[in-house]
Amino acid sequence: MTADAESGTISGGHLVAKALKAEGIDVIFTLCGGHIIDIYDGCIDEGIEVVDVRHEQVAAHAADGYARITGKPGCAVVTAGPGTTDAVTGVANAFRAESPMLLIGGQGALSQHKMGSLQDLPHVDMMTPITKFAATVPSTERVADIVSMAFRECYNGAPGPSFLEIPRDVLDAKVPLEKARIPEAGRYRASTRQLGDPAAIERLADLIVHSEKPAILLGSQVWTCRATSDAVDFVRALNVPAYMNGSGRGTLPPGDPHHFQLSRRYAFTEADLIIIVGTPFDFRMGYGKRLSPTATVVQIDLDYRTVGKNRDIDLGIVGDAGLVLSAAAAAATGREDNGSARRKKWLEELREVETKAFEKRLPRQLSGSQPIDPYRLVHEINEFLTEDTIYIGDGGDIVTFSGQVVQPKSPGHWMDPGPLGTLGVGVAFAMAAKYAQRDKEVLCLFGDGAFSLTGWDFETMVRFDLPFIGVIGNNSSMNQIRYGQAAKYGDDRGRVGNTLGDVRYDEFARMLGGYGEEVRDPADIRPALERARESGKPALINVWVDPDVYAPGTMNQTMYK
């Protein structure tokens, strides 16, 4: 027991730590500042570990990543002013990715409000458009109360980030324990899971039972809702081919008869029923324009604002992916014939398209050319992943290649920034994933440009003994942007603002106490990955890839058309 507890008082920082503990949070990601140190002191008492990083953007991305991996909210704590502005990108990324995290920012003392105190900025104004809730904590007594309020708001509809600023005098002051409201674990917020309109679920069951050619897209919310087994049961019971995107990847393992990937465009053109689960009609979905105009379209989402946005739908259901899919499966199973046998031919048709597309690309994946074909690199990574490898993609063109080839073997084992497309999430996501799941292997594929943005936090991975396998697809360029520039302005004038040095990231890793090696021959990729695995250290394998080869996904981007 601390002296404060003995004296019957408690400070704001200790109240923060108690509120975090009530959420089951066991770590904060932070970069220090005088405004926030009392939170660290509280964390010591509550047994919450303080992981101190080298850039606040990384702290915020790590909180986002922690939320995705654990299903608990993540927390980042940063100082006032530049500490908070540095974290904006991480919060924004979590906002677009629907990831529940709390950013706590310091603030000048209330007693110096608007007097020009050190690092004073209007944080709440800045954070309001990119959070579900942003507020100032007005008094020490209310610190834990408002933290619990922020968590409640994180889970309103589709989850997302909250922001609180705590003025220095509010944080440091001590109040009598009995005056502070300290919400108790499990007693201050309710589950927000919703089943959806029962009539709509009956209708979905009807549609599926009568469909000859259905297809389902399992998006990120399938993972957010931890709906893996409900989704798997649904597609198996009703014999529906499944495509996956975002964090929904890995819901079904590769090789599963209902797992499809390369035939998606064909399926969405030929299907008579398309069920979109937990992913918006945004740029990744061509704003919903690429679906067959004659198909019946069903959209299931946690957020009512997403349903029917950008294109009309035939049936919308606002609810939890798992609850909705299991209720629909149950309703359909009650019918005399749920139609699953009739759909056998449709699955065979799609499998054929799938196999042809795979075989067409295979020679590229096995290419022995030097410099290395990026397809070969991502192929080797895909072969190397185990059921227990969490895969992270952080880069441009190289990650676009991997999106086609790399298939996570288990649910929740795929991490990408999400629709904000933020470069620089990789080290932070690796940090959060390894921290939360020590028994998992973590592999991150970086573009050289992406790694450079936040790469210094490789040192944090070393300091906290968080081994992971980093692979840099090094083309000494920002290739995804270069492609569009070359297409628009020609090769010469297109080579501006996108050229990076030939940097030895393997040496950088070794300098910081990690493992590193470089690869030029494709035959050396696999052995290098294995040595990185065996090193038991944070590792960077610097793979020189051909800078003049672009991913089809990059070449097809609508922004270049």
Ligand X SMILES: Cc1ncc(C[n+]2csc(CCOP(=O)(O)OP(=O)(O)O)c2C)c(N)n1
Rounded Cα–Cα distance for residues 465 and 444 (Å): 16
**Do residues 232 and 333 make contact, with C-beta atoms less than 8 angstroms apart?**
no
Q: Which of 26, 38, 320, 397 binds ligand X (CB under 6 A)?
A: 397
| Segment interacting with ligand X, rule: CB under 6 A, options 166-174, 186-194, 252-260, 391-399 | 391-399
Q: Which of 450, 471, 529, 539 binds ligand X (CB under 6 A)?
A: 450
Residue 554 in contact with Mg ion, rule: CB under 5 A: no
**Do residues 231 and 412 make contact, with C-beta atoms less than 8 angstroms apart?**
no
String of contacts with Mg ion for each residue 458-477, x by CB under 5 A: -----------------x-x
Residue 280 in contact with ligand X, rule: CB under 6 A: no
Rounded Cα–Cα distance for residues 178 and 190 (Å): 25
322 interacts with, out of Mg ion, ligand X, none, CB within 5 to 8 A per kind: none
Q: Which of 261, 479, 485, 542 binds ligand X (CB under 6 A)?
A: 479
Q: What is the CA radius of gyration of the chain?
A: 25
**Residue 9 or 477: which CB sits closer to Mg ion?**
477
**Residue 126 or 450: which CB sits closer to ligand X?**
450
**Residue 316 or 447: which CB sits closer to ligand X?**
447
Strand order from edge to edge, sheet including 315-318:
242-244, 214-218, 273-277, 296-301, 315-318
Residue 320 in contact with Mg ion, rule: CB under 5 A: no
Q: Which of 403, 421, 494, 553 binds ligand X (CB under 6 A)?
A: 421
**Residue 131 or 475: which CB sits closer to ligand X?**
475
Rounded Cα–Cα distance for residues 69 and 415 (Å): 9
Q: Which of 315, 478, 512, 529 binds ligand X (CB under 6 A)?
A: 478
Rounded Cα–Cα distance for residues 440 and 529 (Å): 16
Residue 398 in contact with ligand X, rule: CB under 6 A: yes
| Segment interacting with ligand X, rule: CB under 6 A, options 37-45, 119-127, 167-175, 443-451 | 443-451
Q: Which of 11, 79, 480, 485 binds ligand X (CB under 6 A)?
A: 480
Residue 394 in contact with Mg ion, rule: CB under 5 A: no
Determine the Cα angle at 395 with ends 391 and 401, to 5°: 70
Strand partners, 470: 444, 540
Contacts 24+ apart (CB under 8 A), 2-6: 2/45, 4/174, 5/177
484 interacts with, out of Mg ion, ligand X, none, CB within 5 to 8 A per kind: none
Rounded Cα–Cα distance for residues 323 and 196 (Å): 8
| Segment interacting with Mg ion, rule: CB under 5 A, options 123-131, 170-178, 355-363, 444-452 | 444-452
Tell the residue number behind the tokens 């090789």, with chain if given: 255
Q: Which of 547, 438, 407 is nearest to 486 (CA)?
A: 547
Rounded Cα–Cα distance for residues 549 and 375 (Å): 9
Minimum separation from the CB atom of position 56 to ligand X (A): 14
Q: Which of 57, 402, 475, 485 binds ligand X (CB under 6 A)?
A: 475
Minimum separation from the CB atom of position 132 to ligand X (A): 22
Helix (H, G, I), strand (E, B) or coil at 486: helix
Residue 393 in contact with ligand X, rule: CB under 6 A: no
**Residue 281 or 483: which CB sits closer to ligand X?**
483
Which DSSP string do the residues of 168-214 spell out, in sequence order? HHHHH-EEEGGGS--PPTTSS---------HHHHHHHHHHHHH-SSE
Helix (H, G, I), strand (E, B) or coil at 237: helix
251 interacts with, out of ligand X, Mg ion, none, CB within 5 to 8 A per kind: none
**Do residues 541 and 504 make contact, with C-beta atoms less than 8 angstroms apart?**
no
Minimum separation from the CB atom of position 557 to ligand X (A): 10
Q: How many residues bind ligand X (CB under 6 A)?
A: 19
Strand partners, 50: 28
Residue 84 in contact with ligand X, rule: CB under 6 A: no
450 interacts with, out of ligand X, Mg ion, none, CB within 5 to 8 A per kind: ligand X
481 interacts with, out of Mg ion, ligand X, none, CB within 5 to 8 A per kind: ligand X
Residues 476-495 that bind Mg ion (CB under 5 A): 477, 479
- Which positions touch ligand X (CB under 6 A)? 395-398, 421-424, 447-450, 473, 475, 477-481
